[in-house]
C-alpha cells in the first residue's frame, strides 16, 4: 500500500468514528460525507472501494443490534462450530494455517536474550503496522500510528533481544492476511511470549470465524473457567499480534463493541470490514 491508501484510511476511520457515535440516529450519506468534508458522491465511491460495501450497509454491520444478532445466533456454539467446520474459505484460512509455538520458560524469563528479531513497517487497510519475527515465527504485530512508540513497545516485550530492521519471508507471508491471497498460503507460525493461560486465550481467539463476534464470558466458559471473564479480558488486551489473533472480535455481552488498544474506531472498522467480506 502507498501513502494515498493510508490517507484514505484516515478518512475512512473518521467516517467510521462519526457512524459509531451517531448510529442510533442512522445518519444519511450526506451527513457522514459532510463530517469528513467530502461530497456524497466521492465519499460513497471511496468508502465502497475500501469496505467492499456501501456506507449504509456498513452502518448495519457495526450497530449494536447487529452485534446482538450475531451473538444470539452464534454465542452458544461458536467455538464448536468453528472447530467442526475447519473455518474453510478465502479470508478464513489464516485460522487453519496458524500454529502457536509458545516460548520456553527460559526464553520467557530472560526477556528474549539471544533472540534475533527482524522487524519492518508496512501498510494495511487499517493504517501503518509494525510486524516483527524470529526464525520461529511472528512474535509481534501492532498498528503503528507512532512508529517510535510501537517499536518501544516491541523492545519492552523483549528487552534483551537484538533487533534488525528488515523484511523477511515470515513477515511477507503473514501480511497476506490483509488481502485475498490465501488460496495457497504457506504455514504461518506465531512465536509468542505469554503465560499458559494467555496462550490458551489467544488460541481460542483464533477459532472465532471471520465476521463473527464473541464475548469475554463466552471465552471463559470455553476454557472451563466461567468466573475468569476479567482474566480473559486482561489476556485479550495483552495480545501481542494485532488483527492476526483477532482480539477485535471480542465485544461486550450487551453488543457494545467496547474499547480497543489501537482505538475503538479502528476496531469498528475491522469488524465492519470483516463482516462485509464474510457476507460477500
In which residue ranges of the chain is pLDDT below 70? 1-6, 74-97, 108, 180-187, 280
Question: What is the predicted pLDDT for the residue at 237?
Answer: 92
Q: Where are the beta strands (DSSP E) in 112-203?
A: 116-124, 127-134, 137-143, 162-165, 188-190
Q: Which class in CATH covers the domain with range 3-61?
A: mainly alpha
Helix (H, G, I), strand (E, B) or coil at 146: coil
Question: What is the predicted pLDDT for the residue at 81?
Answer: 41
Question: What is the predicted pLDDT for the residue at 74?
Answer: 62
Residue 1: partners with Cβ closer than 8 Å, 6 or more residues away:
122, 123, 124, 125
Question: What is the predicted pLDDT for the residue at 149?
Answer: 93
- Name the residue ranges covered by the structural domains of the chain: 3-61, 68-279
139 given a catalytic annotation? no
Catalytic residue, candidates 247, 257, 269, 275: 247
Alpha carbons 212 and 76: distance in angstroms, whole number: 13
Out of 3.40.50.2300, 3.30.230.10, 1.10.10.10, 3.40.720.10, the CATH code matching 68-279 is 1.10.10.10
Alpha carbons 220 and 204: distance in angstroms, whole number: 10
The region, left, alpha or beta by phi > 0 then psi within -120 to 50, assigned to residue 39 is: beta
Residues 264 and 258: beta-carbon distance below 8 Å: yes
Greatest CA separation found in the chain? 58
End-to-end CA distance of the chain: 23
Alpha carbons 117 and 115: distance in angstroms, whole number: 6
Residues 256 and 216: beta-carbon distance below 8 Å: no
Reported pTM: 0.83
Residues 155 and 207: beta-carbon distance below 8 Å: no
Closest to 125 measured CA to CA, from 143, 139, 137, 141:
143
Q: What confidence tens digit (pLDDT) does each residue in 21-58 have?
A: 887 788 889 999 999 999 999 999 999 988 888 988 88
Residue 7: partners with Cβ closer than 8 Å, 6 or more residues away:
none
| Beta bridge mates, 98 | 188
Q: What confidence tens digit (pLDDT) does each residue in 178-211 have?
A: 875 544 455 678 999 888 899 999 988 988 888 8
Closest to 87 measured CA to CA, from 207, 2, 202, 179:
207
Amino acid at each position: 500500500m502507498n501513502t494515498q491508501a493510508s490517507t484514505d484510511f484516515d478518512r475512512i476511520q473518521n467516517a467510521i468514528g462519526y457512524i459509531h457515535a451517531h448510529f442510533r440516529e442512522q445518519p444519511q450519506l450526506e451527513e457522514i460525507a459532510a463530517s469528513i468534508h467530502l461530497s456524497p458522491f466521492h465519499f460513497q465511491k471511496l468508502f465502497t472501494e475500501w469496505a467492499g460495501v456501501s456506507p449504509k450497509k456498513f452502518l448495519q454491520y457495526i450497530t449494536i443490534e447487529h452485534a446482538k444478532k450475531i451473538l444470539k445466533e452464534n454465542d452458544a456454539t461458536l467455538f464448536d462450530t468453528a472447530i467442526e467446520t475447519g473455518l474453510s474459505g478465502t479470508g478464513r484460512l489464516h485460522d487453519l494455517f496458524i500454529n502457536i509455538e509458545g516460548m520456553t520458560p527460559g526464553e520467557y524469563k530472560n526477556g528474549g536474550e539471544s533472540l534475533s528479531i527482524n522487524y519492518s513497517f508496512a501498510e494495511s487497510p487499517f493504517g501503518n503496522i509494525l510486524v516483527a519475527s524470529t526464525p520461529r515465527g511472528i512474535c509481534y504485530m501492532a498498528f503503528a500510528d507512532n512508529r517510535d512508540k510501537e517499536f518501544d513497545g516491541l523492545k519492552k516485550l523483549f528487552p534483551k533481544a537484538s533487533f534488525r530492521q528488515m523484511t523477511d519471508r515470515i513477515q511477507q507471508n503473514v501480511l497476506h492476511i490483509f488481502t485475498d491471497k490465501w488460496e495457497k498460503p504457506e504455514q504461518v507460525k506465531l512465536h509468542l511470549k505469554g503465560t499458559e493461560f494467555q496462550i490458551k486465550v489467544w488460541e481460542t481467539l483464533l477459532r472465532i470465524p471471520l465476521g463473527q463476534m464473541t464475548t469475554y464470558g463466552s471465552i471463559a466458559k470455553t476454557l472451563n473457567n466461567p468466573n475468569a471473564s476479567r482474566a480473559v479480558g486482561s489476556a485479550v488486551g495483552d495480545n501481542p499480534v494485532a488483527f492476526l489473533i483477532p482480539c477485535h472480535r471480542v465485544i461486550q455481552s450487551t453488543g457494545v463493541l467496547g474499547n480497543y488498544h489501537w482505538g475503538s474506531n479502528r476496531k469498528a472498522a475491522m469488524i465492519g470490514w470483516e463482516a462485509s467480506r464474510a457476507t460477500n
